[in-house]
Amino acid sequence: MLSRIFILLLLIMILLPAAHAVVVVEVEIKGEINEGTAILLDEAFKQDGDVVLIIIDTPGGLLTSMQKVVRLILESDKPVITYAYPQGAFAASAGSFILISGHIAAMSDGTSTGAATPIGIFEPAENKTINFIASYGRSIAEERGRPVEVVEKFVTEGKSLSAKEAYELGVIDYLADSKEDLFNKIDGKVVEVQGKNITLNFEEFEIIKVKKSLKSRIFEFLSNPQVASVLLLIGIYGLIFGITSPGILPETVGAICLVLSLVGLGMINISYIAILLFILGIFFIIAELMTPTYGILGIASIVCVTLGAIMLFEEPLMPKKFYSSFPQLIGGISLGLAVIMTFLILKIAQLRKIEKKIGGGVTVGEEGEVVSFSDGKGYAKVRGEIWKIESQDTIREGDEVVVKERKGLTLIVALKEKEDKFYARR
């Protein structure tokens, strides 16, 4: 009898399917949120997994990039767990919206969230910006069944909550000091995903960590406001420098930097007043080149470009320190670069005008008299002006020469007697 029972149990164990280990796709949002963050999250959601775990430790970031991340979470066909972790981390500003958008939101002790009041570089954000972001947070809270009033205060009052406070107010669902602790607490929980109820089973799980790809790193770099500003300045001055002093390198570097800056600026909210100041700066320096004003328009160009660089970005959810450090950093860089490049451009333009004025009438075939000559180089008087000359002929002081070619301010000449004999033979 016992043998039959043993055999029956063995058959049941063989026929029953093995327990399926839950595949958890883990991805980190660390540091400022930017376009690289959005690309990283998009790659994570494309992974073959059962659950997406987003570890959050961010002071805020770009509004557009944050919206892309939230959209990915809200439209996900698999459960998404947002988790402020480890201790000392915070899901602030733009990060708070990502935290509350998860199907399950959790925080570890010692973390905080909130403080999503829009900020401006020179003055507080406009009411329309505050109202827009507050309504955006309200819609996420309503979608996930979180307290709307509290989330609105993140924006309107700059309210910040500790992990315990967020849990007591219902902003998050769980307090957990480790991923294992979190999985134990949500094991067996039923979540609604796109109208379907899914039961989370964390008896066995496997974690797949998604690292930053090359693409996400490139866009993280380009969408950095400081980098985009510097690339824009180098691009503008590189092209202007190339126009005043033709050469392959300035135009090439300028064009590449300008294109890269436009890629970055396309992901960032920018000020149209700042763009207008950049245009005025370019106009003033071109006007200075065409109509010398003893540097007055050159100075106006420097002021416009510097102010334009400082006022370029209108990002309301960047970290607080951004609004104090960015103007100082970019103001210093843009002022220094503008002064140096404007000085070089104007000096080169002056030299070219002098060159044109001195030798404008000298052409191939004109004659002159050698003033001095040795080792293939010397000076000659041509049309009453003293010119540098070079020649492969044996020439002495007082010889007459004929201009064969002109290279800048140097004339390539030949002995006149040699030229006369050449034409006589023909």
Beta bridge partners of 373: 378
Specify the pLDDT at position 219: 94
What is 352-383 written as a DSSP string? HHHHHHHHTT--TT-EEEEEEEETTEEEEEET
**Cβ neighbours of 426 (radius 10 Å):** 5
Cα separation of 166 and 96, whole Å?
11
Q: Where are the domains of the chain?
A: 16-213, 224-359, 367-425
Which candidate in 65, 68, 93, 112 is catalytic? 93
Beta bridge partners of 25: 52, 208
Q: Which CATH class is domain 16-213?
A: alpha beta
The label of the residue with tokens 């416009």 reads: 304
Q: Which of 355, 357, 379, 354 is nearest to 369 (CA)?
A: 379
- Give me 34's structure tokens: 């930017």
Is position 271 annotated as part of the catalytic site? Answer: no
Q: What is the pLDDT along the chain (426 residues), one digit of tens a residue?
A: 556 555 555 555 554 444 467 899 999 999 999 999 999 999 999 999 999 999 999 999 999 999 999 999 999 999 999 999 999 999 999 999 999 999 999 999 999 999 999 987 766 778 888 999 999 999 999 999 999 999 999 999 999 999 999 999 999 999 999 999 999 999 999 999 998 999 999 988 899 999 999 999 999 999 998 899 899 988 888 887 777 666 667 788 888 999 999 999 888 888 889 989 989 988 888 887 777 666 788 888 888 888 988 888 888 888 888 887 888 888 888 888 888 877 777 776 666 555 554 445 566 788 899 999 988 899 998 887 888 899 988 888 889 999 888 887 888 999 887 655 444 444
**Quick check: 170 and 146 in contact, CB under 8 A?**
yes
> For residue 408, what is the enclosing H or E element?
none
Cα separation of 423 and 413, whole Å?
16
β-strand pairing of 174-175 with 190-193? unpaired
Specify the pLDDT at position 246: 62
**Quick check: 361 and 383 in contact, CB under 8 A?**
yes
Specify the pLDDT at position 236: 86
**Cβ neighbours of 309 (radius 10 Å):** 27
Which candidate in 128, 196, 321, 407 is catalytic? 128
Cβ burial of 404 (10 Å; 0-12, 13-18, 19+) is: middle
- From residue 102, how far is each of 50, 71, 369, 374 by CA, in Å? 15, 11, 88, 84
Omega of the bond leading into 86 within 30 degrees of 0 (cis): yes
Specify the pLDDT at position 113: 96
- Give me 412's structure tokens: 């390539």
Is position 209 annotated as part of the catalytic site? Answer: no
**Quick check: 369 and 403 in contact, CB under 8 A?**
no
Phi then psi for 270, rounded to 5 degrees?
-120, 160
Cα separation of 91 and 93, whole Å?
7
Domain 367-425 part of CATH 2.40.50.140: yes
Cα separation of 223 and 229, whole Å?
10
